Amino acid sequence: MCNTLIATWRMALEGVTEAMPVASLQQAVVSAVMNVEDNPLYHSVGYGGLPNIQGEVELDAAFMEGDTLNYGAVGAVKFLKNPILAAQALSRSQRNNVLTATGALEFAIQQGLALRENRYALSQDKWKAALQQTAKEALQEAYDGHDTVCVLGASCSGSVCAGVSTSGLFLKKTGRLGDSPIIGSGCYADSASGAAAATGVGEDIMKGCLSWEIVRLMANHSPQYACEQVVHQHTETLIKRKGECGSISVIALNKAGEWGAATNKAEFSFVVGEPEKGVHVWLARCSG
C-alpha cells in the first residue's frame, strides 16, 4: 500500500501499524483513530477518556477530507463508542456539519453508530482523587496528559485527509469545546497543499488557527519548516501579548507524503508510517 500516515503521541503506534495495509486513505485514518478511542488505557481519548468537572466523559472529534474540503465534527458528546465515525459521517452531509452534545448523539444514533459508556474505573479514580486534592480550592482545568490523537494521511495519488479525537482537558467545564472540533484549529486538510493537526491546550491553539496556518505555509514550504514557524511564532506572540502560552505540538503531511512536527514542550512523541520504511515512533523537541 502507498499511504503515508503521521499521528500524534506514542499511543497511536498500534493504530497506525494496523492501518498501514488499509487501501482506502480515509479508512486508514479513521481506523487508526478508532484504535485509540477503543483503548481504555489511553486515557485522553474515547473509552476511559479524562472526565470533565462532573465526572462525565465528553468527547470532541473531527474529520476533514482534502479533495472536497468536506469537514465534519462533534463536540462535547457523551456515550459514543467512536466519535470519529460520527465526524466522518457529518463530513459527508451537505449542511449541519458540526454538531454538539445531544444533537451529535441523536445524529449518531440515526446513523446506527455504536454507543458506549465511556467512563472507566481508572479515569474515574483519577477524577475522584483530583476532587479530593482540590476540595478546598477552586477546581481548575489541568494540563495532565490530556492528549489528542490526530492522524493525517496522504495517498500516493496526492490526496490528504485528517482525523482527530479527544476527551479534552481534564476537569473541563461541561459543554467546553477544545480546538479539536474547530476547523483550522485542531486539524485542516487541503489536497492542494497538505494536512496538519494540533494537540495541546485548545484555548491557545485556537487563538492562532494553527492547523490552517501550517497548511497555508506548506503551499510554499516544507512541512517541517511550516510546523516550526507556526509553533514558534505563535508561542512567542502569546507570551508577548498575554504573558504565557500553554503546551502546543503539531504534525503536518504534504501531498507528496513529506512530513514534519514541532512542539513548544520539552518533548513530543509522534508516529510515522511510510511505504517501504515501515512504522516508527519519533520525538520532537522544543528548539526555542
Supply the residues annotated as catalytic.
148
Confirm or reject binding of residue 166 to ligand SD4 (CB under 6 A): yes
Among 75, 83, 168, 257, binds ligand SD4 (CB under 6 A): 168
**Which residue type is seen at 53?**
I
Q: State which residue, 92 or 173, has the beta carbon closest to ligand SD4.
A: 173
Q: How far is the CB of 200 from ligand SD4 (least distance, A)?
A: 5
Q: State which residue, 24 or 54, has the beta carbon closest to ligand SD4.
A: 54
Confirm or reject binding of residue 204 to ligand SD4 (CB under 6 A): no
| Dist. CA 163–CA 117, nearest whole Å | 22
**Which residue type is seen at 103?**
G
Residues 6+ apart with CB under 8 A from 233: none
Cell numbers found for residue 268:
513530543
| Dist. CA 182–CA 97, nearest whole Å | 11
Q: How far is the CB of 105 from ligand SD4 (least distance, A)?
A: 19
| Number of residues engaging ligand SD4 in binding (CB under 6 A) | 13
Residue 241 has a CB neighbour count (10 Å cut-off) of: 10
Q: State which residue, 147 or 190, has the beta carbon closest to ligand SD4.
A: 147
Among 37, 58, 65, 179, binds ligand SD4 (CB under 6 A): 179
Angle, vertex CA 244, rays to CA 242 and CA 247, nearest 5: 135
Q: State which residue, 186 or 257, has the beta carbon closest to ligand SD4.
A: 186
Q: Work out whether strand 194-200 and strand 248-254 pair parallel, antiparallel, or are unpaired.
A: antiparallel
The residues that touch ligand SD4, with contacts defined as CB under 6 A, are 146-148, 166, 168-169, 178-180, 199-202
